[in-house]
């Protein structure tokens, strides 16, 4: 008796095969962005498991080479000394960058193709939660080596969390174990980074995938022309799974080349935490928030009842990202349709949505640019003008060009 038959008699594989494995997957390169995000998550879990074998989640001082150093810092030096330790740590680091970038690009694809509309509103919302949880997990990862860079970067995040009126102290307690850095901070951040946030991500990704299988993908535009009303695509097994396996292997190959060639976050270069604050910038995906914080004067304060106040840190670090997040949450309810969406919408047919997206991207670019305020020697006034007028100009120019080229379609 074949293994398949043996398993089929017990697990009813034929039913599973018909129900899930024959699902049609559309063939279009833009649909791989979600998969690259998924590959990054799998890689992060696997390399992360390796890192937990050597990492010590404690900032207590221990003796190392005649010096008193934080245990977490010393344990990362130990991981680096293991065979392939440094490369695997580097791969973990780059996979986190790729996951954030791929999730963002995947979101952009959904946005400009209108795939957030009925019936996929729930997956859009789950996706936003996934993007948020990914960024928070990556941020916490930075705190763990407990070197001069990570302590300073975490302090910026701590300041932003604590600035939330009324609940700031509670946020600081839950995330950082009290006033950062205390001895309780690293165990707390470690538990969030290796257990609670990955579990949350796994659960969210699981539901995201189940809903996607149940609702089926939006169909690429060519499907409407080739076979209107039919679902076009390759079956999950064996074709889509083979393509995904190949893509995953290619992804791993490229990632290991990058990880081996460019060692990420060499902690001996940053050194253990010192009393002086090193000049550093956050990673690219936080640089836009850092840029906004650079140009909001610290004098911007609004008193609130019961002794609370709105500070510049809260405006730049929570309020502005929060407003953008809220708009994203409301989007599928503001821009929706009565019938279920089957085919992707072409960005060129929706000049308003596409041009607003371009304007927003320019907002992120200019805010990121403001992160180099000191180095570029630009005044706050000039940066404010740029932050307001460049995105508006980009939006208008894109809108007018699209209407001119493609004509009115919306």
Interface with ligand HEM (CB under 6 A): 31, 33-35, 37-38, 41, 103, 106-107, 110, 115-116, 120, 123-124, 127-128, 130-131, 134, 205, 208, 212, 217-218
Minimum CB distance to ligand HEM, residue 143 (Å): 21
Taking the least distance from each CB to ligand HEM, the nearer of 26 and 282 is 26
Pure H helices in 55-177: 71-81, 85-112, 121-143, 148-162, 168-176
Minimum CB distance to ligand HEM, residue 289 (Å): 18
Taking the least distance from each CB to ligand HEM, the nearer of 54 and 119 is 119
Taking the least distance from each CB to ligand HEM, the nearer of 212 and 234 is 212
Do residues 25 and 233 make contact, with C-beta atoms less than 8 angstroms apart? Answer: yes
DSSP readout, 73-99? Answer: HHHHHHHHHSTTHHHHHHHHHHHHHHH
> To the nearest 10°, the Cα dihedral for 235, 236, 239, 245?
170
| Residue 332, phi then psi, degrees to nearest 5 | -65, -15
Taking the least distance from each CB to ligand HEM, the nearer of 34 and 141 is 34
Strand partners, 61: 70
What is the spatial distance between Cα 214 and Cα 206, in angstroms, rounded to a whole number? 12
Minimum CB distance to ligand HEM, residue 117 (Å): 9
Mutual angle of helices 351-370 and 284-295, in 10-degree steps: 70
Minimum CB distance to ligand HEM, residue 285 (Å): 13
Minimum CB distance to ligand HEM, residue 344 (Å): 6
Minimum CB distance to ligand HEM, residue 115 (Å): 4
The CA radius of gyration of the chain, in Å to the nearest whole number, is 24
In the complex, residue closest to ligand HEM by CB: 127
Strand partners, 64: 67
What is the spatial distance between Cα 75 and Cα 54, in angstroms, rounded to a whole number? 6
Taking the least distance from each CB to ligand HEM, the nearer of 55 and 116 is 116
Taking the least distance from each CB to ligand HEM, the nearer of 139 and 369 is 139
| Residue 113, phi then psi, degrees to nearest 5 | -100, 0
Residue 292 burial by CB count (10 A; 0-12/13-18/19+): exposed, middle or buried? buried
Minimum CB distance to ligand HEM, residue 134 (Å): 5
What is the spatial distance between Cα 112 and Cα 358, in angstroms, rounded to a whole number? 10
Taking the least distance from each CB to ligand HEM, the nearer of 231 and 263 is 231
Taking the least distance from each CB to ligand HEM, the nearer of 85 and 127 is 127
What is the spatial distance between Cα 87 and Cα 138, in angstroms, rounded to a whole number? 18
Taking the least distance from each CB to ligand HEM, the nearer of 68 and 336 is 336
Minimum CB distance to ligand HEM, residue 14 (Å): 25
SS3 234: strand
Minimum CB distance to ligand HEM, residue 282 (Å): 20
CA–CA distances in Å: residue 301 to residues 145, 290, 312 = 34, 18, 6
């Amino acid at each position: 008796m074949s293994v398949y038959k043996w398993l089929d008699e017990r697990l009813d594989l034929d039913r599973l095969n018909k129900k899930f494995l024959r699902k049609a997957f559309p063939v279009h390169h833009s649909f791989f962005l979600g998969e690259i995000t998924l590959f990054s998550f799998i890689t992060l879990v696997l390399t992360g498991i390796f890192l937990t074998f050597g990492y010590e989640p404690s900032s207590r001082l221990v003796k190392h080479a005649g010096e008193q150093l934080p245990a977490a810092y010393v344990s990362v030096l130990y991981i680096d000394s293991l065979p392939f330790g440094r490369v695997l740590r580097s791969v973990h680091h780059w996979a986190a960058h790729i996951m954030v970038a791929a999730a963002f690009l995947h979101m952009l694809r959904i946005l400009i193709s209108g795939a957030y509309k009925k019936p996929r509103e729930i997956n859009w919302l789950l996706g936003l939660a996934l993007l948020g949880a990914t960024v928070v997990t990556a941020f916490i990862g930075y705190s763990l080596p407990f070197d001069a860079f990570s302590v300073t970067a975490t302090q910026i995040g701590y300041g932003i969390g604590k600035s939330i009126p009324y609940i700031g102290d509670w946020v600081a307690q839950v995330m950082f174990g009290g006033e950062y850095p205390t001895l309780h901070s690293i165990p707390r951040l470690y538990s969030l980074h290796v257990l609670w946030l990955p579990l949350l991500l796994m659960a969210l990704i699981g539901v995201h995938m189940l809903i996607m299988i149940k609702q089926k993908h939006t169909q690429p535009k060519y499907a409407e022309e080739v076979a209107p009303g039919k679902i076009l695509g390759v079956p999950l097994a064996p074709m889509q799974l083979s393509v995904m396996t190949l893509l995953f292997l290619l992804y791993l190959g490229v990632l290991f080349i990058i990880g081996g060639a460019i060692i990420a976050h060499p902690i001996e270069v940053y050194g253990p935490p010192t009393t002086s604050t090193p000049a550093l910038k956050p990673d690219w995906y936080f640089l836009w928030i850092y840029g906004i914080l650079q140009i909001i004067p610290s004098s911007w304060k609004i008193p609130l009842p019961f002794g609370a106040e709105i500070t510049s840190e809260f405006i730049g670090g929570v309020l502005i990202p929060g407003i953008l997040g809220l708009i994203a949450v409301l989007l599928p309810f503001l821009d929706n349709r009565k019938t279920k969406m089957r085919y992707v919408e072409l960005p060129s047919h929706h000049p308003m949505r596409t041009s607003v997206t371009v304007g927003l991207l320019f907002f992120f670019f200019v805010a990121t640019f403001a992160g180099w305020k000191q180095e570029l020697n630009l005044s706050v006034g000039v940066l404010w003008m740029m932050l307001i007028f460049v995105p508006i100009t980009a939006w208008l120019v894109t809108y007018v060009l699209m209407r001119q080229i493609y004509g009115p379609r919306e």
